[in-house]
Amino acid sequence: MTSPTRPLLRWFAGWSIVLAVGATPSVASPILVSEFVDAAPPYPQAHASTIIQLTDGTLAAAWFGGSGESRPDVTIWFARRGPAGWDKPVAVADGRTRDGVRYPTWNPVLFQPAGEPLRLFYKVGASPRTWHGMVIVSRDNGRHWSAPRALPDGVLGPIKNKPVVTPGRAWLAPSSREAGTAEQNRWFIRMERSTDHGRTWQIEPPIPSPMGIEAIQPSVLTFQDKRLELIARTRQGALAMSWSRDDGRSWTPLAAIDLPNPNAGTDAVTLRDGRQLLVYNHSAHWPDRPGDGPRWPLNIALSDDGVQWHPALSLETRPMPDGYAYPAVIQSRDGLVHITYTYNRTRIKHVVVDPGALK
């Protein structure tokens, strides 16, 4: 296959290419851009980013930031990327309620199907066991936003990763639940599906897990034969998968994938050439904490069938106290792959990868 690197680099004329700390410049590197969305944020912690390409071709990202995850001052931030780089981020949503109580916000997800306004889903609540789904809407590519609106009772929206439009034109939100108490809670996936452009949502039954795999935060992949696959984070030390042949209405029992998961979020995207691309932490358990491990390195894996995955690129390898976590990934209309992720819990990093250079 002919690599598209040269025309893609022409498209990047005027972009400032900032290499990752400790990286060595290389014309052969698949990484074209490595930069922080906000190099000096006005808060100590940032986490859980989402990225999208808007209808005008601009990139945009959102994340939550504040004094620390689960604290009431944590706010949803949003930024667009202009010709000179990322614009100054702005706060677009918080957890204030009508009775004056303020809760933390969590896990924004950007979504804009063709012909639709931009939506930003997020969660509000004291914890993932008690949060509820919210959405705001922009009709000018993120310059102005509507008032927040609560999703219908029981609907949480996409928990971490982007929804997809299915072959049957439904909107499929990859959702999940963390039920119970902080000491004893159970993870499970419940997909949410809309056939009327988000006006109403159907909450699907929990995906069965006869092997006892507890999974959350799925992402959805598509195949040419109209099958759908989800890839999910688990507590059991390995990623999990499930399949649908009926446009996301029902799913096969969860099964393990031969890739480690240190109890950390992932994201995946179906490339236009048919390959599946996954961003995840390829690391094992801490010795004294089964199912939980370091969030480094951060890697890309590729697959043709969604079952057998092979390593393609390491994005981050240097040990870091809070690691590199919660990636979000898209393929832009020019064919490039854009990834954002949490960098040591302090900033959001944006990396651009040429998928034609990945083998």
Convert the pLDDT of each residue in 334-347 to its tens digit: 999 999 999 999 99
In the chain, the number of structural domains is 1
pLDDT more than 90, % of the chain: 86
Structure confidence at residue 289 (pLDDT): 85
Cα 252 from Cα 191, distance rounded (Å): 13
pLDDT given for residue 15 in this prediction: 35
In a domain, 88, yes or no: yes
Q: pLDDT, tens digit, for every residue of 126-151?
A: 999 999 999 999 999 999 999 999 99
Report whether pLDDT(357) > 90. Answer: yes
**Is 336 among the domain residues?**
no
CA dist 315 and 279 (Å) reads 9
Which has the minimum average pLDDT: 149-163, 172-186, 246-260? Answer: 172-186
What mean pLDDT do residues 239-256 have? 98
DSSP assignment letter at 184: S
Question: What's the rounded Cα separation, in Å, for the pair 137 and 118?
Answer: 6
335: left (phi over 0), alpha (psi -120 to 50) or beta: left
By mean pLDDT, which of 152-166, 176-190, 263-277, 322-336 is the weakest?
176-190
CA distance 165 to 219: 13
- What percent of the chain is predicted at pLDDT more than 70? 92
Structure-token pair, residue 226: 């109209």
Least confident of 10-14, 46-50, 164-168, 189-193: 10-14
Least confident of 11-15, 76-80, 262-266, 288-292: 11-15
Residue 40, both tokens? 């000096």
For 224-242, what is the mean pLDDT? Answer: 97
pLDDT at 22 over 90: no
What is the rounded average pLDDT of the residues 306-325? 97
Please state the rounded mean pLDDT for residues 175-183.
89
Best CA proximity match to 156, nearest among 216, 93, 223: 216
d(CA 93, CA 123): 10
The answer to the question of residue 91 being in a domain is yes
Query: Is 33 buried (19+), middle (13-18) or exposed (0-12) by CB count in 10 A?
Result: middle
Enclosing domain of residue 241? 41-319
How far, in Å, CA of 179 to CA of 7, rounded? 49
Phi and psi dihedrals of 304, rounded to 5? -90, -30
Other beta carbons less than 10 A from residue 117's beta carbon: 13
Mean pLDDT confidence for 141-170: 97
Task: Classify residue 154: in a domain, yes or no.
Answer: yes
Question: For residues 349 and 34, is the Cβ–Cβ distance under 8 A?
Answer: yes
In DSSP terms, 220 is beta-bridged to 230
At residue 27 the predicted structure's pLDDT band, cuts being 50, 70 and 90, is: low
Q: Quick one: pLDDT at residue 181?
A: 81
Residue 280 lies in a domain: yes
* Secondary structure tally for the chain: helices H, strands E: 1, 27
Whole-number pLDDT of residue 13: 30
Condensed to tens digits (0 to 9), the pLDDT of residues 286-304 reads: 888 877 999 999 999 999 9
Question: pTM of the entire structure?
Answer: 0.92
Q: How far apart are CA 139 and CA 325, in angstroms?
A: 30
- In-domain check, residue 329: no
Q: What mean pLDDT value characterizes the chain?
A: 92
Confidence (pLDDT) at 12: 36
CATH code of 64's domain: 2.120.10.10
| DSSP codes, 214-244 | -EEEEEEEE-TTS-EEEEEEESSSEEEEEEE
Is the C-alpha dihedral spanning 120, 126, 129, 130 positive or negative? Answer: negative
Q: Does the pLDDT at position 23 exceed 60?
A: no
Element (H, E) at 97: none
Task: Indicate if the pLDDT at residue 244 is higher than 80.
Answer: yes
Instruction: Tell me what the mean pLDDT of segment 316-345 comes to.
Output: 98
Tell whether 164 is covered by a domain: yes
Q: Is residue 337 situated within a structural domain?
A: no
